[in-house]
C-alpha cells in the first residue's frame, strides 16, 4: 500500500488539531509551548508532503526556515518560562494574570 499525499495531509491536520486543542485547553505553560511546536511541525509535514507531490524543492527551504524559527522560539520561550518559574513558582497560566494590561 502506497502512502499518498492525502495520508500526509490527514496526518498533518490531525497533528495540527491536537496542537490547537492543547493550546486552548491546557493550563501548563510548558505543555502549551509543546503544543505550539506540534502545530509548527504539522505545518512542516504538509509543506514537505506537498513539495514531494509537486516535485518542487522550494518548500523544503521554507521548512528549514520554520525549523530555525521554531528553535529560536523554543529558546526564548523556555527562557521566559524559567523566569516565570523563578518569580511565581508555578507554570500555571492563570498565575500570569498580572501581565494583563
| Per-residue pLDDT of the chain in tens (101 residues, 90 and over written 9) | 788 899 999 999 999 999 999 999 998 989 999 999 999 999 999 989 998 888 888 888 888 888 898 899 899 999 988 988 898 888 888 877 766 66
Helix (H) or strand (E) holding 67: helix 58-88
Q: Using CA atoms, how far apart are residues 95 and 92, in angstroms rounded to an integer?
A: 6
Q: What pLDDT score was predicted for residue 93?
A: 84
The CA-atom distances, in angstroms, between 71 and each of 17, 47, 61, 76 are 21, 18, 15, 9
**The C-alpha cell that represents 73 in the structure block:** 522560539
Find cell 485547553 and name the residue.
Answer: 25
pLDDT, residue 99, reads 63
Residue 7 confidence (pLDDT): 94
In this predicted structure, what is the pLDDT of residue 100? Answer: 62
The rounded distance, in Å, linking the Cα atoms of 53 and 47 is 10
Letter string b/e over residues 38-51, b meaning 16 or more CB atoms within 10 A of that residue's CB: bbbbbbbbbbbbeb
pLDDT of amino acid 94: 82
Amino acid at each position: 500500500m502506497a502512502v499518498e499525499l492525502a495520508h500526509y495531509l490527514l496526518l498533518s491536520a490531525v497533528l495540527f488539531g491536537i496542537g490547537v486543542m492543547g493550546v486552548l485547553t491546557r493550563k501548563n505553560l510548558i505543555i502549551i509551548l509543546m503544543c505550539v511546536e506540534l502545530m509548527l511541525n504539522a505545518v512542516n509535514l504538509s509543506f514537505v508532503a506537498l513539495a514531494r507531490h509537486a516535485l518542487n524543492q522550494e518548500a523544503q527551504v521554507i521548512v528549514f526556515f520554520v525549523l530555525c524559527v521554531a528553535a529560536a522560539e523554543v529558546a526564548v520561550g523556555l527562557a521566559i518560562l524559567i523566569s516565570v518559574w523563578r518569580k511565581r513558582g508555578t507554570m500555571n497560566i492563570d498565575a500570569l494574570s498580572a501581565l494583563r494590561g
